[in-house]
Amino acid sequence: MENNNEAIISVNNLSKIYRVYNKSIDRFKEIVFKQKLHKEFVALSDINLSLKKGDTLGILGENGAGKSTLLQLIAGTLTPSSGTILLNGRVLALLELGIGFHPDFTGKENIFFYGDMLGLPRSFIQSRYNEIVEFSELQDFIDRPIKTYSTGMQMRLAFSLISSLDPDILIIDEALSVGDMHFQKKCIDRIMEFKQKGVTIIFCSHSTYQISILCDKVIWLRAGKIEMFGDTEKVIPAYEFYQLEKDRNNIEKADIFQLNEEHPAIIREFQILNPTPLKRGDTIRFRMLVECLNDRLPYHVTLSIKMDNGRGVYVTGSHLSGKPAITGKKREIIVTYPKAPIMGGVYYAVARIFDDKGLMVYHEKPMPPFEVEKDSMELGVCYFENHWEII
């Protein structure tokens, strides 16, 4: 991406390399003996990025991809190994490790302490003080030392503080995953207000949904490099497909169970019989092939469907459906969901074998994730037929 005069953030050929030593004393030996005793870990390599005023950028990537390193470099809490970062405006950042509160200071003292670090007049902080405390909902704790705050309380105060100081560039790194749902909603609403006011926002999250709502552009980082940059509607599907294929490969490699006394019944095969991606309202059919040590062992089978974040959608089972215990050395089992009202998204299915009482798990087998096409702007997991009348 080329730099231009309108850029509020311009990152050029940015790299961050860490020296890794096997022993602490190797640092000293390296200086004295002029001998290289370290290995280099490249956290970021040749990053180029330009954002204009009002741009909202989401950053995606797996753990260790370099997301937090990039944000810390832009925020100025890390020094690059090479490359340049040019900023045109006040940068306020809520990073994964917080904003540097002093643990022995009270919440109130830390508000003014942070303002001093930014070089802001005390009168300005005083004029925003009530707003900061009210938004954080920490009125009963504001005169207590920060070290007595929970992680969630510290993040509440940190977000309330930085979002009340008129940033030109706002950086948020995974911080919204700490608070409760009520406060997360308040944070999202405030971020949307900033977006409408033209504040430049960089938002890092593992939630592709949150990024799709908040951000117009997305960078996908992989192993310290930009794998893809572009419009949200193009990058997120590419990233989700990559995750889908990776999960599928990991599941196929991980299934190493063999029949034995500990696992007297195992699921040899578990698959979805439909072509994918599915569509809402499709009749979904799953197939399991179960093997047992002997043909007299009674057992039951369950099938769970989960969202990509692990939350359950629906669980059914042979015993839950009133079926008698299954026997036989090898049995094929088909489970059918007629006209499933499942909304667009990525889902997982897990099959489990229980004893005849439905209490002891003999074996479980996850299935590679499957996708349901998104066909509407409506949100949720299950679709409900709806009709609107405005009176």
pLDDT digits (tens, 9 = 90+) for 265-294: 999 999 999 998 999 999 999 999 999 988
Q: Is the pLDDT of residue 256 over 60?
A: no
Question: Burial of 157 by CB count in 10 Å (0-12 exposed, 13-18 middle, 19+ buried)?
Answer: buried
At 1, the pLDDT band (50, 70, 90 cuts) reads very low
257-372 matches 7-244 in CATH topology: no
Higher pLDDT, 287 or 356: 287
Q: Is the pLDDT of residue 200 over 90?
A: yes
Model-wide pTM > 0.95: no
Extract the tokens encoding 105.
């200071």
Residue 363 contacts residue 354 (beta carbons within 8 Å)? no
- Hey, where are the domains in the chain? 7-244, 257-372
What is the side-by-side strand order in the sheet with 7-21? 38-52, 7-21, 82-87
Buried-exposed string 160-198: b where 16+ CB fall within 10 A, e elsewhere: bbbbbbebbbbbbbbbbebbeeebbebbeebbeebbeee
Higher pLDDT, 3 or 265: 265
Q: Is the pLDDT of residue 4 over 50?
A: no
Place domain 7-244 in its CATH homologous superfamily.
P-loop containing nucleotide triphosphate hydrolases (3.40.50.300)
Extract the tokens encoding 219.
């960078």
At 252, the pLDDT band (50, 70, 90 cuts) reads low
Across the range 97-122, mean pLDDT stands at 88
pLDDT tens profile 152-173: 899 899 999 999 988 999 999 8
Higher pLDDT, 89 or 357: 89
What does CATH list as the number for 257-372? 2.70.50.60
What is the side-by-side strand order in the sheet with 217-222? 91-94, 169-173, 200-204, 56-60, 217-222, 225-231
Q: Is the pLDDT of residue 362 over 80?
A: yes
Determine how many CB atoms are found less than 10 A away from the CB of residue 217.
19
Extract the tokens encoding 156.
């509440």
What do you get for the CA distance between the two ends of the chain, in Å? 52
Eight-class DSSP state of 144: S
pLDDT tens profile 215-249: 999 999 999 999 999 999 889 878 877 876 776 66
Percent of the chain past pLDDT 90, that is, above it, reads 55
What pLDDT was estimated at residue 309? 67
Dist. CA 106–CA 266, nearest whole Å: 57
What pLDDT was estimated at residue 169? 96
Average pLDDT, the chain: 88
Q: Beta strands of the chain (E only): which ranges? A: 7-21, 38-52, 56-60, 82-87, 91-94, 169-173, 200-204, 217-222, 225-231, 265-272, 284-292, 299-307, 312-317, 330-337, 345-355, 361-372
Extract the tokens encoding 86.
């040019």
